[in-house]
Structure 1
Amino acid sequence: MGDAVRYIGPVERRARLASRQRLIGPARASSPEEVAASLVALHGSDPATVYLALGARLTDATRTVPATERALYESRSLVRMHGMRHTVFVFPTDLTAVVHASTGLAVAARERASLLKDMAKAGAPDAAWLKEVEESMLSALALRGQATATELAEDEPRLRERFVYAAGKSYEGVHTVSTRLLRVLGVEGKVVRGRPLGSWTSGQFRWAVAPEHPELDLAEAQSTLLAHWLRACGPATEADLKWWTGWKVTDVRRALAAIGAREVSLDEGPAYVVADDVDPVADPAEPWAALLPALDPTAMGWQQRDWYLAPELRPHLFDYSGNVGPTVWWNGQVVGAWAQRPDGEIAWRVLAPGGVGREAETAIGVAAERLRGWVGETRVTPRFRTPVEKELAG
């Protein structure tokens, strides 16, 4: 008879989250690289999220900005690139080849085909012309080191060519070759985002030639990525895994089998952990609070979220596209929201019915002051805003 399938309840799942997501004091990290390795991926669609997510998990949050900029733009130990679900993330550099092979290549093929199709419909030049422009631009970028699209167009004027997108549709628009081509090359792993034009909250980036990496087998890369993520976020259901990766369910099942994942039981049904992660995990010795940013990788880590986020709170915390706003956490559950006001104050509100008690409110207040202390004079407005965040921000 085989081993019994172990049940893992919400309390233990929150205990795993607390330490593995580096949200409790003893588990905080000394560097952005340590945090990224633990989380696998940091959401990068909103540039500020990367820094705020790291600051919440670093032992010395005051070092967040210089340490992260050094990792992203000097040592290149972290790389901002497209990954799962065609979303921009920040990854440890040693995972870039894995992410590219496991999730990027299929998306890249669709993106290039879509660009060529849109150009053809608009009567723009053909694939051979685009390839020539691409090679010229990459040569110019290599010489410059880092550059904006405008600067690259000075070296390769054909990047300024425009074509109409979705002619006759309600969402008709005009694209430049540079905008679409750089997007395609980013998904293909040929270019990455470099330093922003402004501060760490800026969404306008320079571009740089991507670091070289080996080409990996698809199945091998998917197995590697899944193992990394399950170790950080397991247990997870097939639905969680399919949603987070953006893969087909057949790819998820093949990768689970390849790594010898162990089945466990959750309130949601069957789920999986890596083979050596079945043993119980104790609850943290001390209660904990955290203020996490919009699109934080913990808040966005699973598709099925009832074990850490009460359904009645979702309308207050998510925008219409499913992007989570800034969240307040107490002992592994989302209990409220926060925002930064124009004067720099971190305003927060408990949304959990019945409140959370004095101990929790004191701890949340401490976390808010910690955040205000290291953010300093910088003002942060989430790219994707939610109703309660707008209200708190005033």
Structure 2
Amino acid sequence: MIELSWPQVSARRLERAGLLVPKPGTPAGIVAAMCGAHAQVMSAAEVSIGLRLDGVTRAHVREALWGEPRGELRGESSLVKTYGPRGTVHVLPARDLPMWVSAMSSVPVAYNGAAESARMTPEQTERVVAAIAEVTAGAELTIDELSEAVIAATGPWAGDLVMPAFSGWWPRWRQAMGLAAHRGAFVFGPVRGRKVTYTAAPAAPAAPVMENGLSELVRSYLTAYGPATPAEFAQWAGGPVRWANAAFAAMDLEEVSLEGRRSWVLAGDTAMPGEPPRGVRLLPYFDAYVIAGRPRELLYPGAAAGRALAGGQAGNFPVLLVDGEVAGVWHQRRSGGRADVTVEPLHDLTTAQLTELGEQVERVAEVLEARPRLTVGPVTVGAHA
């Protein structure tokens, strides 16, 4: 069995992520290499994508997502925004949507913890999914418009206010939104004012369209973040371990040892960089690299775990990477045309590292189309602030 060290694996992952040297290419290409960009905070997704590409700003990402070259008429989009792994909002390549639909719709339905009186029957769920696909075709609907259309297409029962929400109750049909997205029934449309819209998914019907989508997703995941285990893939994707075990068993994989842990890579994909990772990088909220980065104790060594993880969860704090390991946190505040970036290292940085940190801050500001100002000192805001 091949023995691999953490520095080898770290360097390989960073290289494939475009985090050692920014890659040439397109937003869709780098998002494919990332296995999706977390987009619950859209500005963070723009930074995640932009930092990995030469000269790309948030305007390029928005153009790829919405087909809007700086206010002109919309054209074809190469990215889509929808519910991805773990049921969280992601930006995905439009060309890969059939794979994602196939893979995500294969995740076994989780137990519904809602009160029995609030649940939908399997038949009702299917009717809602079909209705969402039907009413979003050729339309861009706000959540209120979508709700009205789904209730009209299915029946008054779908509108019963039975789902606890942040400041009230949601209608019954909204239980099926995550499933509908994973079936390809809709994607997010462009924002209308301050309101999110929903529209038809491009090139993927509301049913799996690719028999081997799960295998292709495992292949993409292991290419980007291997070596890994089925349990780690299950945590990343949001499915049960038995589902991940079966997916790995269907693949041509090779077992390796990562710091004494049994892990797997694609068969023959065992080449590693000859040098350990070097350099300073800033990664925003919920960057794909830290979400998928396991084992956590190797990526977040020592004090980094206590400072940069929130209850063991990665992504709630933007992180400072030094030589491939989390070595601090940072926060960005936009004020007019300026981006004020505060970086809190967990240990003293060398003069060369401080110079590289300044260059990273300039790049973050370039992506955000702002003027940078760096402060090295304590970050006083909490997680996901």
Aligned-partner SS, 1:70:
helix
- 1:192, distance to aligned residue in structure 2 (A): 0.9
What residue in structure 2 maps to residue 237 of structure 1?
229
- 1:162, distance to aligned residue in structure 2 (A): 3.9
Paired residue type of 1:148:
T
What residue in structure 2 maps to residue 161 of structure 1?
159
Alignment of 1:87 with 2:88, yes or no, is: yes
What residue in structure 2 maps to residue 272 of structure 1?
264
Q: Following superposition of structure 1 onto structure 2, how do residues 136-147 of structure 1 map, counting pairs within 5 Å?
A: 138-143=133-138, 145-147=139-141
Alignment of 1:71 with 2:69, yes or no, is: no
Residues 310, 132 of structure 1: CA spacing in aligned structure 2 closer, same or farther, 3 A cutoff?
A: closer
Q: Please give the TM-score of this superposition, normalised by the length of structure 1.
A: 0.79
Question: Is contact 1:236–1:273 with CA below 8 Å preserved after alignment?
Answer: yes
Question: Is contact 1:241–1:252 with CA below 8 Å preserved after alignment?
Answer: yes
Deviations 1:16-38 (CA, angstroms, capped at 9, x unpaired): 0221010123x423321121121
CA distance in 2 between counterparts of 1:157 and 1:245 reads 31
Deviations 1:169-217 (CA, angstroms, capped at 9, x unpaired): x99952135644544422332011111235xxx7x42100122437356
Alignment of 1:335 with 2:335, yes or no, is: no
- 1:150, distance to aligned residue in structure 2 (A): 2.5
Deviations 1:352-374 (CA, angstroms, capped at 9, x unpaired): 4xx23221122112101221233
Residues 33, 171 of structure 1: CA spacing in aligned structure 2 closer, same or farther, 3 A cutoff?
A: closer
Question: Is contact 2:181–2:187 with CA below 8 Å preserved after alignment?
Answer: yes
Deviations 1:293-315 (CA, angstroms, capped at 9, x unpaired): 01000011134222222142122
Question: Is contact 1:85–1:245 with CA below 8 Å preserved after alignment?
Answer: yes
Which 5+ residue runs of structure 2 have no aligned equivalent?
A: 68-75, 373-377
What residue in structure 2 maps to residue 104 of structure 1?
105
Question: Which is further off, 177-186 or 316-325?
Answer: 177-186
Which one of the candidate residues 179, 184, 194 is aligned to 2:189? 194
Question: Is contact 2:227–2:264 with CA below 8 Å preserved after alignment?
Answer: yes
Which protein is richer in strand relative to its size?
2
CA distance in 2 between counterparts of 1:279 and 1:53 reads 26
Q: Following superposition of structure 1 onto structure 2, how do residues 116-265 of structure 1 map, counting pairs within 5 Å?
A: 121=117, 138-143=133-138, 145-152=139-146, 158=152, 161-165=159-163, 173-177=168-172, 179-197=174-192, 204-213=195-204, 215-216=208-209, 220-265=212-257
What residue in structure 2 maps to residue 40 of structure 1?
35
Question: Is contact 2:46–2:367 with CA below 8 Å preserved after alignment?
Answer: no
Which one of the candidate residues 282, 285, 294 is aligned to 2:285? 294
- Number of aligned positions between the proteins: 362
Alignment of 1:50 with 2:48, yes or no, is: no
CA distance in 1 between counterparts of 2:183 and 2:17 reads 29
CA distance in 1 between counterparts of 2:192 and 2:214 reads 34
Deviations 1:203-262 (CA, angstroms, capped at 9, x unpaired): x421001224373566x3322211111111111234322322333334333333433111
Paired residue type of 2:306:
P
CA distance in 1 between counterparts of 2:127 and 2:370 reads 46
What residue in structure 2 maps to residue 350 of structure 1?
345
Question: Which is further off, 86-95 or 51-60?
Answer: 86-95
CA distance in 1 between counterparts of 2:384 and 2:38 reads 22
Residues 128, 87 of structure 1: CA spacing in aligned structure 2 closer, same or farther, 3 A cutoff?
A: closer
Aligned-partner SS, 1:341:
strand
Residues 256, 391 of structure 1: CA spacing in aligned structure 2 closer, same or farther, 3 A cutoff?
A: closer
Q: Please give the TM-score of this superposition, normalised by the length of structure 2.
A: 0.80
Residues 185, 128 of structure 1: CA spacing in aligned structure 2 closer, same or farther, 3 A cutoff?
A: same
What residue in structure 2 maps to residue 22 of structure 1?
18
Aligned-partner SS, 2:31:
helix
Residues 389, 282 of structure 1: CA spacing in aligned structure 2 closer, same or farther, 3 A cutoff?
A: farther
Aligned-partner SS, 2:161:
strand
Question: Is contact 1:78–1:90 with CA below 8 Å preserved after alignment?
Answer: yes
Report percent identity of matched pairs: 22
Which 5+ residue runs of structure 1 have no aligned equivalent?
A: 380-386
What residue in structure 1 maps to residue 301 of structure 2?
310
CA distance in 1 between counterparts of 2:210 and 2:263 reads 26
Aligned-partner SS, 2:328:
strand
Question: Is contact 2:329–2:343 with CA below 8 Å preserved after alignment?
Answer: yes
Paired residue type of 1:31:
T
Q: Which runs of at least 4 in structure 1 moved beyond 6 Å after TM superposition? A: 124-134, 391-394
Question: Which is further off, 178-187 or 90-99?
Answer: 178-187
What residue in structure 1 maps to residue 70 of structure 2?
none
Question: Is contact 1:51–1:68 with CA below 8 Å preserved after alignment?
Answer: yes
